[in-house]
Structure 1
Amino acid sequence: MQHIRKHWKQILTILMIYTLWSVIAFLSLVVLQGLPTTLTQFGQGSQLYINFVHSIVKGTIVYYLLIYHLAIPMIKSRIWKKPMLKCVLLFILLTGYEYIYNFHIAPTGIGNSSVNTFIIAAICLDVIMVLVSIFLATLINAEEMRKHKDELEKEKLKAELSAIKYQINPHFLFNSLSFIYTKTVKTSPEAARAVNLLSEIMAYALDDWDELGTVPLALEVEQMKRVIEMNQIRFNHTLKIKYEENIEDSVAHIPILSLVTLVENAFKHGDMNDGQNHISIELKATRSRIYFRVSNKKKKGPKEPSTGIGLNNVQQRLQLMYGIRQSFTIKEDENYYMNEISINL
C-alpha cells in the first residue's frame, strides 16, 4: 500500500508541475502571437479543452515513465543500453499515437502540416523530453542519496546505542575465552578449537569497521566458514552441509554479518541430520554481482524461539546500502526455507 501511495504521489507531483507549465506556455503563446492564432493551433470551444487536457495527461504519463522508470533506474544502475532501448520503443509508440491523434482523431494544428515536418518536430520534442527527464532524474537521485546518507547515519547511531546498551565488556569476554581455551586445549582439543573459533567470530563482529558497517567479502566468507566449522564441532561432524563457492572477485564490500546471519539461521531452524536434504549454501561473486543462497529443510518438533530481528536487520542494511541494485528474498513452505541475496555492484 505504501508503495502504491508513493507512485501516486510521484504522478500527482508531475501532473501539477506539468499543468502549471502548460498554462504558462499557452498564455505566453497568446501574448507573443495573439489569441486568434493560438486558438487556430490548439482548437476552439470544446476542442480546445479536449486538446489541452489530452496534452497534460499525455505529458504527465510520458514524464513519469521517463523519469521514474527509465532515467532514475539508469542513473542508479549505471546500465544505459537496456533503458535507452526502452526509451526508443516508448517514443516510437508515442510518435505513432500522436500521428493518429493529430492527423485522424483531432486534425488541427500540426495535423495540417506534412508528415515529414511532423516527424522532425516529434524527434526534436522527444530529444528535449529525454534531456529534461535526465536532468530532473539527476536532481531527484541526488536528493534521494542525501536522504539515504542521513538514514544511514541515523541507523549507525541506533546501532551504536544498541551496542552500548547490550554489550558485555569485550576484554572480560576475550580473557574468559582465552582462559577456557588454555584449560581445554590439552584435554579436549575440539572444544578448545570451538572456543577459539567463537573468539575470532566475536572479535570480527565487535571490530571497528568502516562508517557504513561494511567489510570485504573475503573476510565475511572467512567468518561464515568459522561458523560452519564451529557447528560441525558442536554436532560431532554429523551435519549434512552442501557448500558451493565460486568467487572471482573478493574485494567487493558487503554489510558485516549478513552472510553469517543467514547461515546461523539455517543451523538454528534447519534439520541438519537428513541425508537426503542437506543444508545448501551457495556463493557466487563476480565484478558485477554477488549472489548468495541458503536453503534448508525445516526442523520437526518444537521450534527455537525467534524474533526475526537478524533477518530484518540484514534486509534493512541491504536496502539502505544498495537500494534497487539488491534483492533479499525469503521463500518457504511447510517443509523448506530459503534465503537469497542478490547484489548488483
Structure 2
Amino acid sequence: MKKKYVILLHLLFWLYYIMQDLTVFDFKQQKISFPILAFDFNKPEYLLMLSFTAIYIFVFYLNYLVFMPKFFDVKKVKRIALSFLALFIIFIGMRYLIEEVLFDILFGFHNYYKGVTVTYYIYDNLAYSSLPIMASSVLWFIVNMLRLQKEQLALLESKRETEINFLKSQINPHFIFNTLNNIYYLIFEKSEKALPAVEQLSGLMRYMTYESQNETIALQREIAYIENFIALETMRISGDAQVFFKKNIENPECRIPPLLLIPFVENGFKHGILNNPEQSFTIELTQNKNHLILQTQNSINNYKKDHQSGVGIENIKKRLQLYFPDKHSLEITRKENMYYIKLDITL
C-alpha cells in the first residue's frame, strides 16, 4: 500500500475522532463548536481534554508502530493478550499520573472526586483505554492486509517474470544447441559420458518446465538441478574444469522457492575463469536447522562479456525480499580479480 494512502487513512481517522469526540453540537441553537480551539489554561475541562487527547494519541501510535508489528501473531494468543494488557496499564497509569497527581500539584485540581478507589478508577478507564487500542489495531489490520495483498501480487508477478526470463535466457536455443553438439560429439566418440549427459539435460528441462511452476520445492530438487547445470556447462570448458560444488545438507526435504539459488551459479559460469587451478569456481551450500547458506567464489574474466545475464542479481534481490523479508542477508564482495557471494536465509 502506497505511503500516501496510509497517510490518508490516518487523516480520515483523526478527522472522525475530532468530529466525534472533540466537537459539541447544540441541538437548540443548531450550532457546532470546537472547544479545543478555544483553549483556556484557567479552565480545568480544557486541560483535561488536552491531556486525554495527548494520552489517546500516544497509546494509539505506541500500539500501531510498536506493539502490533512486534507482538501480533495469530499463533501466539498469550503474547497478544499480554501486549494489550500492557497498553491498558500504560493508558490508565499515564492518565492517573497526569490528571490525578500532576494536575493536583500544578493547578490544584484533578479529574475524579476524592476518595475514589483504585479499583473503580481502573474499571472506569477500561472503556476509555480500549478506544485507542482497538482503533489503532483495526487501522493496522487494514493497512497490513492491503500491504500483504500487494506483496502477494508482486510476488506472483516476480515469479512469472523469473520463469519467463529463465525460459528465454537460461534454457535458450543457444544453450540447448551447444549442449546437444557436445552430446553428439560424445556419442560420436562413443564416450561413456554421453548417456549421463542426455539424462542431465532431460532432468534440467523437466525441472524448468514442470517443477519450477510450484510455489516451493524440496531443496534436493534444486540441488539436482544445479548439479545437472554444472555438469552440462563444464562440458563446454576447454581444459580441466575447476568447478567444485560442496554440500552439507541436514534436511534435503526442506522447502525453498524454485530457481532461487541457480542465478548465483549461473553468474560464476558467465563471468568467471573456470579452468584456473589456483582460482577455482567454488560453490558451497550448507543447510542446518532453519538456516540455508550459499557461498560462491570465482575469479573474474574481464574479457568475457555476456549481455544475457539470466534473471540477474537485482531480480534475485527482489525475490529474496518478497519471499524472505527481514529473514535473509546477501553479501556481494569484489576483491581484486575475485568475486564473492554469501547468501544466508532463515527458512
In the superposition, the TM-score normalised over structure 1's length comes to: 0.67
Partner of 1:340: 343
In the TM superposition, residue 223 of structure 1 has moved relative to its aligned partner by 1.3
Which amino acid counterpart does residue 258 of structure 1 have in structure 2?
Answer: L
Does residue 118 (structure 1) correspond to residue 121 (structure 2)? The answer is yes
User: Which residue of the partner structure matches residue 105 of structure 1?
Assistant: 102
Q: In the alignment, what sits opposite 1:295?
A: 295
Q: How many residues align?
A: 324
Q: CA deviation at 1:69?
A: 3.8
User: What CA distance in whole angstroms lies between the structure 1 residues aligned with 2:298 and 2:86?
Assistant: 47
Match of 1:14 among 3, 10, 15: 10
Deviation at 1:184, TM superposition (A): 0.5
C-alpha distance in 1 between matches for 2:113 and 2:321: 49
Q: Deviations over 1:304-328 (max 9, x none)?
A: 5576952222232343345x46434
In the TM superposition, what is the alpha-carbon distance from 1:131 to its structure 2 partner? Answer: 4.3
Query: Residues 215-248 of structure 1: CA distance to partner in whole angstroms, max 9, x if unpaired?
Result: 3433223213334555677574644554221117
1:223 alignment counterpart:
225
| 1:342 to 1:164, Cα distance in 2 relative to 1, 3 A | closer
Q: Distance in 1 between matches of 2:155 and 2:24?
A: 46
* 1:144 alignment partner in structure 2: 147
Cα distance in 1 between the residues matched to 2:23 and 2:339: 65
> Could you give the per-residue CA deviations for residues 236-264 of structure 1, whole angstroms, max 9, x where no partner exists?
464455422111743x3x33210222343
**8 Å CA contact 1:103, 1:111 repeated in 2:** no
Q: Specify which of 87, 93, 97 is matched with residue 96 of structure 1.
A: 93
Pairing 1:1-345 to 2, within 5 Å after superposition: 6=3, 10=6, 13-14=9-10, 16-27=12-23, 45-46=40-41, 51-71=48-68, 78-80=75-77, 85-107=82-104, 108-110=110-112, 113-127=116-130, 129-155=132-158, 158=161, 177=179, 180-185=182-187, 186-190=189-193, 193=196, 196-207=199-210, 209-210=212-213, 214-229=216-231, 236=240, 238-239=242-243, 241-247=245-251, 249-250=253-254, 252=255, 254-265=256-267, 273=277, 279-284=283-288, 289=290, 291-297=291-297, 299=299, 302=302, 305=305, 309-321=311-323, 324=325, 326-332=327-333, 334=335, 337-344=340-347
Distance in 2 (CA, whole Å) between partners of 1:161 and 1:266 is 21
Cα RMSD of the aligned pairs, angstroms, is: 4.9
Give the direction of change, closer, same or farther, for the CA distance of 1:65–1:195 in structure 2 (3 Å limit).
Answer: farther
SS at match of 1:257: coil
Whether the aligned pair in 2 keeps the contact of 1:331 and 1:338 (CA below 8 Å) is yes
Q: Could you say which residue in structure 1 is the equivalent of 2:32?
A: none
Higher relative helix content = 1
**2:107 counterpart residue number:** none
Q: Among the aligned pairs, what percent are the same residue?
A: 20
CA distance in 1, matches of 2:203, 2:319: 23
* Bigger radius of gyration among the two: 2
Taking structure 2 as the reference length, what is the TM-score of the superposition? 0.66
In 1: Cα distance, 2:334 partner to 2:91 partner = 44
Letter in 2 for 1:295: Q
TM-aligned CA deviation for residue 58 of structure 1: 3.8
Structure 2: runs of 5+ lacking an equivalent? 28-34, 105-109
Show the counterpart of 1:35: none
Measured at CA, do residues 92 and 301 of structure 1 come closer, stay the same or move farther in structure 2, by a change above 3 Å? farther
Q: 1:242 to 1:124 in 2, by over 3 A?
A: farther
Instruction: After superposing the two structures, state which structure 1 stretch, 161-170 or 140-149, moved more.
Output: 161-170
Report the alpha carbon displacement of residue 161 of structure 1 after superposing the two structures with TM.
6.6
The separation in 2 between residues aligned to 1:207 and 1:320, in whole angstroms, is 22
Contact 1:67-1:133 at 8 Å conserved across structures: yes
Asked if 1 retains the 8 angstrom alpha-carbon contact of 2:279 and 2:299, the reply is no
Given that 2:249 and 2:287 are in contact with CA atoms closer than 8 Å, whether structure 1 keeps it comes out as yes
Q: Specify whether residues 157 and 76 from structure 1 end up closer, same or farther in structure 2 by C-alpha distance, changes over 3 A only.
A: farther
Distance 1:327 1:12, change over 3 A: farther
